[in-house]
Structure 1
Amino acid sequence: MNLLIKSATIVDPNSLFNQQVADIFIKDGKIAEVAKNIQADAEVFDAKGKQVSPGFFDLNCNIGELGLETKEDLKTGTAAAAAGGFTGVALMPNTQPPVHSKAEVEYLFNRAKNNLVDVYPLGTLSQKREGKDLAEMYDMYQSGAKAFTDGNRPVQDSGLMERALLYTKGFEATVFSYPEDAAIAGKAKVNEGEMSTLLGMKGIPSLAEELMIARDLYLAEYTDSKIHFTTISTARSVNLIREAKKKGLKVTCDVAAHHLVLTDEALAGFDSQYKVKPPLRTRADVNALLKGLKDGVIDAIVSQHTPHEIEFKDVEFEVAEFGIIGLQTAFSLALLAGLDIALIVEKLAVNPRNILEVAVPTIAAGQKANLVVFDSNAEWNFNKENNLSKSGNSPYLGQNLKGRILLTCNNNKVYQSK
């Protein structure tokens, strides 16, 4: 594959050409040259007025394979990822069976070979995600698992979390914590506040998240271990992690793109497409999350891509499943939240790889071509025709969004939007 990207504005903090307009000549999957006015025998992609950055990387992606392929399989999931500008995804182990041994890790790596999108399976923290006994984490680590988590099941047993942190410290792996105290959250479906009262529904208090973050920060400090909190959603959660970082704890965190733009007011019509977990919070929480991104407390933005068949979402709000698909809309939502391009690239492309300790691609001669070209000003319509996921559970389906992905390149393969 020979490709010449012409006149693109490069947005890459690690590149000598950062914030400059240049041509990028890609030959056989590698960047052969970055310069002004390159002449080469190659397919030309006109990127004048457009931006190019390292490919995005998603730290929280749910794909049904293994066992739940009717929701999403690797083929459709990675196609949606490429269309959203992602060249790498970390897969949550929320599958049947869960990714709780090296057999599942190796299966997923083999299934994802020769794909445009790099796939990184995350292993479970506990056997079968039951929260009782530690999973075979070191075996999974040797097979390529970079981090460990029980996915969307919070670890309720403090002793188990302590042992997991101590054990993974031995081989410098990272534990991902989904912070929720299930005893406090109960079976509630929405954020506890004015809207839950108005809707007549029992709410999940922000305390359920914050209490678990406080616990896991204490455990991480006690064990001197690395911990990553995924999909934080409240103002106090941001403050707890801010204080922990000031103390020098090895803590990182991310936020789901939809939590940057939506509040619990979206639930006024009982539309189950807005039912997510953690639940949509208040405007004050959204403002705190945005501030946390800008001042560096929140390290990354994730899609929290969670596909479901129509029969799990097109039902009464109370019984509908949690989650929305987000791979193709994450970039647009970050723009909608008012974040600038350089910050978005940092939170979507650079920091996620640093957290998972995988190589960060650079737009420079001699480097592998792992990049995305986008137009941050162009509008596009997210619809059934261009939705590449198997599932359609998104409140943004049928809506016009700003920020269009034009081209995604990795592993000597190219995706171009139509």
Structure 2
Amino acid sequence: MDNLLIKSARIFFPNTPFHGKELDVLVKKGVITKIAGQIKEDVTNLDVFDAKGQYLVPGFFDMNVNFGEPGLETKEDIVSGCAAALAGGVTGVAVHPNTHPPVHSRSEVALIVNRSRPLPVDVHPIGTISKKRQGEELAELYDMKLTGAIAFCDGDKPVQQAGLMSRALLYSKGFDGLIISCPEDASVAAGGKMNEGVTSTYLGMKGNPNLAEALMVARDLYLAEYNDAPIHFTTISTAESVELIRKAKAKGIKVTCDVAAHHLVMTDDLIAGFDSNYKVSPPLRTQTDIRALRKGLKDGTIDAIVSQHTPHEIEYKNVEYQIAAEGIIGLQTLLPLALQAGLTVDQLVDKLAMGPRRVLGIPLPEFQEQALANFILLDTELKWQFDSQTNRSKSSNSPLMGKELKGKVTLAVNKRQIINTQ
């Protein structure tokens, strides 16, 4: 599909003269060659896509994704992960270093960069903060940055040593590196299997309190302020975290944050059925937390929405809830969950496409003639079944598997490649 004519798409590209208008778009070999009210082109091998009622928006960027490569390719490799991303309208990802070995040196960074180069998704590795993700000694941050690491995080292992986190913030500031905090105080969380509250008490299950997250957010905000360094919090899930970050932003601290899509719609009472596909980290919280998170999105406290895509083989999930692995796949359900949370198309563009790129310092997609195309078409009303036929991931650990979802991406264009995702 080298030449594509998109008919009657409603354009949602902020800060362009085309925003909010219904237009035709001609793409030739990955380049936007014409944007007009009506385009009649005599081009050989021209594919026409009727986008009436659909929105043309920048390709989404997911800044919290887990692929298994290197070492855990049976969960997800870069190729299958990118296929799932495209099906969800995600044309760019930042992959966390939860691999084996972890992404803690230039070798692993280079492997991911090179393996993903021909794929139609922009894949940006996140390097570890500490060697082997052990939280004891700084990894070679600058070396990884030169090789292509977009930011630094110990993945799903929160940095417990305040001194190490402080040194990481200070050191990375010298070369414009970004430290990402996965906020949880392990001594307070103490191995809790779900949110601490009414439901955990009812089920007799050890809980992980909001306090575990809020304490770590407070600590890292102090460290960021002390070192005058930027910090990003990933997958915040509590009302307390939102309020702490809101106040820190008002104070002028260089802080950004994101929220996982499932934390905007799912609550801890869903765990009453002991379905291990609801077991995530941080755990599903309460309706009070959901209201605070949605408010944080609207007032700008929360900068981005992520999928926290975490694939697992069936043997890690099809077991008792207590011993099941944490995490769900989420790339293809990112849009439906965001719509379920009540986001408008403008908010979708801001939180799923523009916000993540601004946080990471990545150039925003352009929408003008002669620009390289990076956009998707989405239908907010289209209903579809998420099942083994439509799932593009190697794994199937999602509580939404087998359910009808509303909102689907129908086309993705990036890196001179055009992919029909219907």
TM-score, normalisation: structure 1: 0.99
SS at match of 1:103: helix
Partner of 2:26: 25
CA distance in 2, matches of 1:339, 1:28: 33
SS at match of 1:111: helix
Partner of 2:239: 235
Q: Does structure 1 residue 263 correspond to structure 2 residue 264?
A: no
Please list, as runs of the form range in 1=range in 2, the aligned pairs for 1:163-178 lying within 5 A after superposition: 163-178=167-182
Shift in Å, 1:417: 2.5
Please list, as runs of the form range in 1=range in 2, the aligned pairs for 1:2-151 lying within 5 A after superposition: 2-40=3-41, 41=43, 42-151=46-155
Matched-pair contact (CA < 8 Å) for 1:14–1:362:
no
Q: Which of residues 371, 382, 399 in structure 2 aligns to 1:378?
A: 382
Query: Which 5+ residue runs of structure 2 have no aligned equivalent?
Result: none
CA distance in 2, matches of 1:43, 1:173: 43
Which digits, 9 at most, give the CA deviation of each residue in 1:199-234, with x for residues without a partner? 100100000000000000000000000100000000
CA distance in 1, matches of 2:326, 2:93: 20
SS at match of 1:318: helix
Identity of counterpart residues, as a percentage?
Answer: 58
Shift in Å, 1:255: 0.2
Counterpart of 1:32, as a letter, is: T
After the TM superposition, list the runs of 4 or more consecutive aligned residues in structure 1 that deviate by more than 6 angstroms. none
The total of aligned residue pairs comes to 418
Counterpart of 2:262, as a letter, is: H
SS at match of 1:346: helix
Q: Which of residues 344, 355, 358 in structure 1 aligns to 2:362?
A: 358
Shift in Å, 1:33: 1.4
Partner of 1:204: 208
Partner of 1:320: 324
Please list, as runs of the form range in 1=range in 2, the aligned pairs for 1:373-412 lying within 5 A after superposition: 373-412=377-416
Matched-pair contact (CA < 8 Å) for 2:386–2:405:
yes
Q: CA RMSD in A?
A: 0.7
Query: Which 5+ residue runs of structure 1 have no aligned equivalent?
Result: none
Partner of 2:228: 224
Shift in Å, 1:14: 2.8
Matched-pair contact (CA < 8 Å) for 2:383–2:404:
yes
Counterpart of 1:9, as a letter, is: R
Shift in Å, 1:144: 1.1
Shift in Å, 1:15: 2.1
SS at match of 1:49: coil
Matched-pair contact (CA < 8 Å) for 2:183–2:213:
yes
CA distance in 1, matches of 2:242, 2:355: 17
Counterpart of 2:356, as a letter, is: P
Which digits, 9 at most, give the CA deviation of each residue in 1:14-43, with x for residues without a partner? 322111111111111111111110122221
TM-score, normalisation: structure 2: 0.98
Matched-pair contact (CA < 8 Å) for 1:101–1:136:
yes
SS at match of 1:350: helix
Partner of 1:156: 160
